[in-house]
Structure 1
Amino acid sequence: MRPIHRRLATTVTGLVLLPAALVGCGIGGDDEDEPAAKTERAPAEEAGARSRERVQAYLDAMTAKDVAAGRSQLCELLHDGFDLAATGPNGDFADHFQVPAAAITDVRSGPHGQEVSVSVSVTAGKSKVTRPLVFTVTRDGGDWCIAGEAPGRTAAPSSSPPRPEGSPPPRPDPNPGG
C-alpha cells in the first residue's frame, strides 16, 4: 500500500506546484505581460518626445538669437566648440543670418541616439536658402541633450521631367541663350 500513497502524494504535490511553475514560465497568472509591454514602449516614446523638445528649443533659440538658450540644449562635451563657432561667420547664431522658418520633419532612432530631421530656412540679406539638418539627441546622465548636428539628406535635384523608358535622351539646345 505504500507505493500507492507515494504516487498519490507525488501527484498531489505536482498539482499544487504546477500553477506556480506555469506562472514562472509565463503561462497563466495575472496579465503581467501587458505592463511589461507598456514599459518597453514608454522609453521609446519618451526618447522621441524628449528629442523633439530639445531640438525645438534649439530651433527657437536660433530664431530668437538666444545663444545661451541654444547652448543649454547641447551636451556638455559640445559647449566649448559651440562657444567658438556659434556666432562666427557660419555659426547657427551669426548676426547676419535670420531664421524665418524652422520645422522638425522626422524623429527616429539612430545608431548614436535619436535622429531629429529638420528643415531650416535661413536668410542673409536678400538671399534665402532652406537646408535639411539632422540633430542627434542622446541621454547624458539623467537628461537629454543634443550630441551632434549634421547636414541632412536632400532629394537629388531634377532639372527635367523623367523620360519614358526607352526614349532617347534630349538633345542639347543649339541656341541656349535665345
Structure 2
Amino acid sequence: MGQQHRGAVTGFALLALLPIALTGCGFGAKDDAGGAPATEAQRAPAEEAAAKSRERVQAYLDAMAGKDVDAGRSQLCATLQAAFDDAATGPNGDFADHFTVPQATITDVRSGPHGEEVSTSITVAVGSRKATRPLLFTVTRSGADWCISGEARGGNTPEPATTP
C-alpha cells in the first residue's frame, strides 16, 4: 500500500509542477507572439529597425535615380561594397549610364529571417522603353548603424495597414 501511495504523490507532484515548467519554456507566457499586445518598450526597437531600413533604402533609391555611385555605396554594408564597385556601373548595374530611374517606390517594410526586408517597385527606362520590377533589399544592423546587406529580385506583398 505504501508503494501505491508514493506513486500517487509523485504523479500529483509532477502534474502540479508541469504548468511552471511549461511557462519556463515559453508556453503560456504573457509576452509570446500570440499573447498580450506588445508594450511600448517591445515596439520601439521594431519601429526603429523599420524606420532605419526605410531610410537606408530610400537613400539608395535616390542615389540610383541621381547616378550618385558614392552615395549608393555608402548605404551598403562593407561586405557588399567591393562587389558593388565591380557591378554597379556595368551594363546591367543599378547605376549604368544608359538607364534612368523615373520612379522608385518603397512598397513594404517588414522583419525577415536575415534582417529587415524592404520591398520596392523600380521603374527603369532606356530611351523610350520602360520596365517596372520589384526589388527586395535586406537591411541589417552593423554596430550602431544600419546598412543594406542584400538585394534580390522580387519583394513582399504589402501588408494591410493596421490601426492601433
Separation in 2, partners of 1:80, 1:37: 41
List per-residue Cα deviations over 1:3-35 (Å, max 9, x = no partner). Answer: xxxxxxxxxxxxxxxxxxxxxxxxxxxxxxxxx
- The alpha-carbon distance between structure 1 residues 147 and 124, as it changes in their structure 2 partners (threshold 3 A), is same
Cα deviation digits, residues 110-131 of structure 1 (max 9, x gap) = 0000000000000012210000
**What is the RMSD of the two structures over their aligned residues, measured on CA atoms?**
1.6
Is the 2:100–2:125 Cα contact (8 Å) retained in structure 1? yes
Change (3 A) 1:153 1:143: closer
Residue-pair matches, total: 120
Tell me the distance in 2 between the aligned counterparts of 1:136 and 1:130.
20
Pick aligned residue for 2:74 from 72, 75, 79: 72
Q: CA–CA distance in 1 between the matches of 2:151 and 2:115?
A: 12
Match of 2:160 in 1: none
C-alpha separation in 2, matches of 1:81 and 1:53: 22
Given candidates 102, 105, 129, the residue that maps to 1:127 is 129
What amino acid does structure 1 have at the position aligned with 2:142? D
Unmatched runs of 5 consecutive residues or more in structure 1: 1-35, 156-178
Runs of 4 or more consecutive aligned structure 1 residues displaced over 3 Å after TM superposition: none
1:1-178 paired onto structure 2 within 5 Å:
37-153=39-155
List alignment gaps of at least 5 residues for structure 2: 1-37, 158-164
SS of corresponding position for 1:83:
helix
* TM score, norm. by length of structure 2: 0.71
Q: What residue identity is the alignment partner of 1:62?
A: M
Q: Secondary structure at the match of 1:133?
A: strand
- Residue 153 of structure 1, CA deviation: 4.7
Determine which structure has greater relative contact order: mean sequence separation of CA pairs < 8 Å that are 6+ residues apart, divided by chain length. 2
Separation in 2, partners of 1:138, 1:154? 17
Report the CA distance between 1:37 and its aligned residue: 2.2
